[in-house]
């Protein structure tokens, strides 16, 4: 069945960007229309059935919210994705409470945007593709799903996800208040999972015994590795307040044990192996520069002493004390210093003897 997407924005560059992003999905039987204003979008909706409306919140003429309500009159099943540059949290809540699929701030994270489009149209996700399941795997997932659903009900959470190490949602119970950033959120959390695994290996732990709490924002988030291959994410309101944090973490640790037992029974746990660590620790300070090689000029192997040195060595006294030796070399140095280096140049003393230099100058 053909699906129709209508993109509405008064900035031509954004229309082209979103249209190009949708083209990368290579979806068959999908028609994409564009409109620069709410009025033209409404006119387009009279010509075609609209399955997905992607609109800016602020539009020339009537707003994106007005456009949504008007199109819903003609197409009650239309899915809505809002794009906004408004930072006001109340505005975002207004859009989410209107039953939209997703809300994206500008600049638009395209991976999350494409995932939201596929979810809205009920298509197979390409960002987080579903894995093939046989009957046995489906039975296993049913067991895990029951665990998550019961936990969600007991702790009054909005969503509980079981994630694998590739960032795929294996099992989910409930959904996030705003699923717009699910792809980016899970990707970031799995980076934390990988870091926790490395820390546990460096610390010579047999298990990954850690958890992470993020309070405030759209949700309070609790994230805990279950095994090297799996992790749990819990999202809900006021789960990490001072009054509830201990209760929430205790319940999550209990759920982790249950999930670990279930995964072990399925043979899909993974082990911590110290030999797998291949991370070079970062230096605590800037590395010292490599020492500059010092070039040492070696004397020739068959070096021959100068005539002056041979003469000095011939006249050197034998069986002398250290004082005699010092006197000998001091006298030798004076002779050599007063002797010109160049044989073609005479010394000052020789010049006076020859009458070339007056005495006293």
Lowest mean pLDDT segment, chosen from 7-21, 128-142, 190-204, 276-290: 276-290
Assess contact for 161 and 219: CB atoms under 8 A.
no
What integer is the mean pLDDT of 18-28?
85
Query: What is the structure's pLDDT at 2?
Result: 79
Q: Which CATH number fits domain 136-275: 3.30.70.260, 3.40.50.1580, 2.40.37.10, 3.30.450.30?
A: 3.30.450.30
- The answer to whether 265 and 248 have CB atoms below 8 angstroms apart is no
Among 182, 163, 164, 161, smallest CA distance to 172 is for: 161
Q: Measured between alpha carbons, how far is residue 352 from residues 125, 138, 339, 345, 359 in Å?
A: 106, 116, 14, 14, 7
> Residues 86-140: pLDDT tens digits?
878 888 888 888 889 899 988 888 888 998 898 888 875 544 444 445 566 667 6
Q: Strand 102-105's sheet: what is its strand order?
A: 30-35, 3-8, 52-56, 79-84, 102-105
Q: Which residue has the tokens 């954004």?
A: 14
Kindly state the average pLDDT of the residues 214-226: 90
Paired strand residues for 62: none
User: To the nearest whole number, what is the mean pLDDT of the chain?
Assistant: 78
How many CB atoms sit inside 10 A of residue 284's CB? 5
Strand residue runs (E) in 212-330? 212-214, 220-227, 230-236
What's residue 319's pLDDT? 59
264 burial type by CB count under 10 A (0-12 exposed, 13-18 middle, 19+ buried): exposed
Burial of 265 by CB count in 10 Å (0-12 exposed, 13-18 middle, 19+ buried)? exposed
52 has a pLDDT exceeding 60: yes
Structure tokens at 257: 């044990």
Q: How far apart are CA 172 and CA 159, in angstroms?
A: 7
For the structural domain made of 3-121, what CATH number should be given?
A: 3.40.50.2300
Rounded distance between C-alpha atoms, residue 81 and residue 5, angstroms: 11
Q: How many CA atoms lie within 13 A of 332 on its CB side?
A: 16
pLDDT band per the 50, 70, 90 thresholds, residue 283: very low
Least confident residue range of 61-75, 100-114, 276-290: 276-290
Average pLDDT of 12-19?
92
Of 110-114, 128-132, 160-164, 173-177, the range with the lowest mean pLDDT is 128-132
What is this structure's pTM?
0.59
How far, in Å, CA of 348 to CA of 196, rounded? 84
Domain ranges of the chain: 3-121, 136-275, 307-353
Residue 280: predicted pLDDT: 40
Residue 196 is predicted with a pLDDT of: 87
């Amino acid at each position: 069945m053909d699906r129709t997407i209508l993109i509405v924005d008064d900035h031509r560059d954004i229309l082209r960007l979103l249209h190009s992003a949708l083209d990368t999905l290579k979806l068959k039987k999908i028609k994409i229309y564009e409109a620069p204003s709410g009025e033209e979008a409404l006119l387009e909706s009279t010509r075609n059935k609209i399955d997905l409306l992607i609109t800016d919140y602020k539009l020339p003429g009537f707003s994106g919210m007005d456009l949504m309500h008007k199109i819903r009159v003609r197409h009650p099943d239309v899915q809505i994705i809002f794009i906004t540059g408004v930072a006001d949290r109340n505005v975002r809540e207004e859009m989410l409470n209107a039953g939209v699929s997703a809300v994206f701030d500008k600049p638009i994270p395209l991976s999350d945007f494409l995932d939201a489009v596929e979810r809205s149209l009920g298509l197979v996700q390409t960002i987080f593709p579903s894995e093939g399941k046989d009957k046995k795997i489906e039975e296993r997932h049913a067991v895990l799903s029951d665990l998550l659903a019961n936990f969600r009900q007991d702790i009054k959470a909005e969503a509980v996800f079981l994630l694998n190490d590739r960032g795929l949602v294996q099992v989910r119970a409930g959904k996030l208040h705003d699923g717009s950033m699910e792809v980016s959120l899970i990707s970031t959390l799995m980076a934390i999972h990988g870091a926790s695994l490395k820390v546990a290996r460096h610390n010579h732990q047999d298990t990954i015994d850690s958890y992470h709490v993020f309070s405030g924002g759209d949700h309070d988030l609790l994230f805990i590795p279950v095994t090297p291959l799996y992790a749990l994410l819990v999202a809900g309101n006021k789960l990490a307040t001072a009054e509830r944090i201990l209760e929430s973490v205790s319940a999550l640790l209990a759920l982790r044990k249950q999930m670990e037992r279930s995964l072990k029974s399925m043979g899909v746990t993974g082990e911590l192996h110290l030999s797998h660590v291949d991370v070079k620790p970062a230096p605590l300070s800037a590395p010292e520069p490599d020492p500059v090689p010092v070039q040492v000029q070696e004397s020739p192997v068959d070096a021959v002493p100068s005539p002056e040195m041979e003469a000095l060595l011939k006249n050197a006294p034998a069986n002398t004390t250290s004082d005699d030796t010092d006197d000998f070399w001091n006298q030798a140095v004076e002779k050599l210093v007063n002797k010109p280096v160049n044989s073609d140049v005479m010394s000052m003393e020789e010049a006076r003897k020859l009458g070339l230099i007056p005495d006293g100058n």
